[in-house]
Amino acid sequence: MPTPEFRNHGNGQGPNRKPLSVYCADDSIDIIILSFVHLFPRQANGYPGIDFGNQCYAERLPGPGYQGKATPSNNRLLKCPNLQRDLYTCRQTSTKKILLSLGGRTGSYQLTGASDGSSFATQLWCMFGPRQNAWVQRSFPRPFDYNDIGFSVDGFDLDVEHPSTDASAGYKALVTKLRSLYATVPGTFYLTASPQCIVPDANMKDMLTATTFDMIFIQFYNYLARVADQGCSLLAFSWAVFLPECCVFGAAPVEEWGPWKRLWGPRAARRCVVVIMAGAGRPESTAVPGAKRDW
């Protein structure tokens, strides 16, 4: 099985992000993760809040309100015409898979119960999944469509970095509903997650076992001290034990960590990818061709 390469495009709100077209033109990259949907409907006046750094404008689409209450100051669905154009071009010129990530470091997002998670999944699917006439005819937004041409992401990624306030009921309902929506249309759609390397990730363990994830991007780069202390192979093995259907794979990290071990689960239904930063000037990225990440 080949080791996929991917970059997390637009992670954060920095002003110097490269356009998506740069990553799309890179033949070594198979997967692009757009980050982030950093606010959920309750926090963003009824629509998701998105932020892809300098690829979006300050102009915001007005939200419908949440549970009957409108708060226009919370509108965070940004217009991103440069990103729309590059997504369209990327889809026409490559076979790269493009995922949309939810969460991130900001602590403002939260779901409140199973009903909230399920309805959010449906909203995400209608806004960013395959174009549906009923949705468009009601003038609801499709943030990634370009010149009225539909664009669908290839799936959704969960990067939840803060504790839930509802015992993960919302997140479990979210991932379960997304998986069921995938089955309603032709084609392949992916459900992925980006937990921290600590096993299990306390913020994500319940959703990770609620349904099948296609790929798990383990954020080893956030815990280099833990990796150096416990050893890469031991942490990789711990993930394989926690998710026994995983195959964990990577390449050789910095020399003092020793070689990675390849661990195949009994059915290998999931791919657990060891994620290491590979930016210029970062020594920890040495010789990790299978774990690229733009930071």
User: Which of the residues are catalytic?
Assistant: 161
What tokens does 217 get? 């991007």
What tokens does 36 get? 């982030």
What tokens does 222 get? 């956030």
Q: Which amino acid is present at 136?
A: V
- Mapped onto helix, strand or coil, the DSSP state of residue 6 is strand
**Sign of the C-alpha dihedral computed for residues 122, 124, 125 and 130 taken in this order:** positive
Q: Which amino acid is present at 293?
A: R
Closest listed residue to residue 35, CA positions, set 20, 17, 50, 14:
50
Whether the CB-CB separation of 170 and 135 falls below 8 Å is answered with no
Q: Which residues contact 11 (CB under 8 A, 6 or more apart)?
A: 35, 36, 53, 104, 294, 295
Q: Quote the CA–CA distance of 51 and 83 in Å, as a whole number.
A: 11
Q: Which residues contact 29 (CB under 8 A, 6 or more apart)?
A: 5, 6, 7, 23, 96, 292
Whether the CB-CB separation of 113 and 168 falls below 8 Å is answered with no
